[in-house]
Amino acid sequence: MTTSHYIAGRWVDGQGSDCISVNDPALGQPFAELIAASAEQVDQAVAAARAALPAWKCTSASERAAYLRGFAEQLGQRREALVALQMRNNGKPRHEAEVDLDDAIATFSYYAELAEQLPGQNRDVPLAAPGFTARTRLEPVGVVGLIVPWNFPLVTSAWKLAPALAAGCTVVLKPSEVTPLCELAYGQIADTLGLPAGVLNIVNGKAETGAALSNHNGLDKLSFTGSNNVGSQVMRSAAAQCRPVTLELGGKSAILVFDDCDVDAAVQWIVAGICWNAGQMCSATSRLLVQDGIADALLPRLQAALENLRVGSPLSEEADMGPLTSQAQWLKVAGYFATAREEGLQCLVGGKVLDRGGWFVSPTLYADVPEGSRLWNEEIFGPVLCARRFASEQQAIAEANDSRFGLVATVCTTDLARAERVADALEVGHVWINSVQAVFVETSWGGTKGSGIGRELGPWGLSGYQSVKHVTQCLG
């Protein structure tokens, strides 16, 4: 598989020096290879997007909506192949891979509707001063670079690609080198739909390709989802160019369980928050804060639920959780298991890698983790849960907010007044109350503190790709 780049409406072979090995994490073995794009090919992709911009931004909102609906329909027609690819390359069980595809379809459908609801280019602005008129225009920000991670391919790219196209931007998409194949479907769909050449470009590669894109002076904006380390590099490159960025970065999120909560329901929400996608989520609620009055009842049931979670190949219909997606992530999580032993943490369940041929680890729960522990403070990106007890609502809020991250949180209580009060006090971008992490395209996504800059999804996602222009005229 060498024809892995879509530039100016054409499929081209990679000309870079890197060979990307695409792995099946359930087996720990490669099943495909592709050649990375060269810096020159990144130049070509940006140039193609720049050349396509004048015509694309002048298309009507209804035309762009029609293309977006076409993407949604074509994703649905490729359903089985894309679900199978998610299972094979990400290690996702079928039910998770299907949710991902449905999310991507819903995103394109939503932004098609939103595009049709866009006001006309010009809107009058009332002025208090006499003798002048003013109007405002919403225009596409221009050529945007989109860099997406490996944990939710198709999904994070849809969250960026759909609003960017709806706004009238042209794009260069760089998928993760860990999961480079799913996003190629967008190029195939562009061909099928007859999307004008250069509106969508896809370049695959490793860090060098990402750096070539993020440093490119032909971009008007960059949107990045990934780690804080890489995000800071992206932000530095944006600062050098004085251009806007959207950054969706890491998290170390809390789930707060109060003593009036139903224990069985709380266990369900906790397990989903740490074991969905094998814990490889920036939103993973990996810090469990449980009130004293319920802790002794909840922790043993949570331990049993994690022990009974079925870990296995995505091809097994019985698997509740698959492997970690890459060997690097497997080794990272194994390193945290070693750190937990060095710190003397109390492990109630798990804390080990599984000898099954692939990159499997056990769902893990540590109890009474001190606030100075590395596992309490650092993003692990695996099914590793750390628990602490609290006495009061004020203490729970303070400990949940005591983090350099601020992405999400979950509140579990039957006292809905308290739930709303706590939700308002939490320093995060999204709060769930008595729920699994249901994400809807109509809501916003993004965080505070070190969890990023800007918002995706909803109308906020669209506005991130729009520029506001005012025109003021003197009538005298």
Instruction: List residues with catalytic annotation.
Output: 248, 282
Give 17: exposed, middle or buried? Use CB within 10 Å, 0-12, 13-18, 19+. Answer: exposed
Identify which of 227, 154, 176, 203 has the alpha carbon closest to the alpha carbon of residue 49: 203
Which parts of 297-438 are beta strand (E)? Answer: 346-349, 353-354, 360-361, 364-367, 384-390, 405-406, 408-412, 430-433
Query: DSSP secondary-structure letter at 276?
Result: G
3-state SS of 146-187 is EECCCCCCCHHHHHHHHHHHHHCCEEEEECCCCCCCCCHHHH
Contact between 187 and 17 under an 8 Å Cβ cutoff? The reply is: no
Query: DSSP secondary-structure letter at 343?
Result: H
- For residue 331 the two structure tokens come to 């080794």
Give 426: exposed, middle or buried? Use CB within 10 Å, 0-12, 13-18, 19+. Answer: buried
- For residue 292 the two structure tokens come to 């004293």
Contact between 223 and 160 under an 8 Å Cβ cutoff? The reply is: yes
Q: Where are the alpha helices (DSSP H) in 344-392?
A: 374-377
> Own/partner pairs for 127-131, CB < 8 Å, 24+ apart?
131/474, 131/475, 131/476
CB within 8 Å of 232: residues ≥ 6 apart: none
**End-to-end C-alpha distance for the chain, whole angstroms:** 66
Question: For the chain, how long is the longest CA-to-CA vector?
Answer: 81
Contact between 26 and 222 under an 8 Å Cβ cutoff? The reply is: no
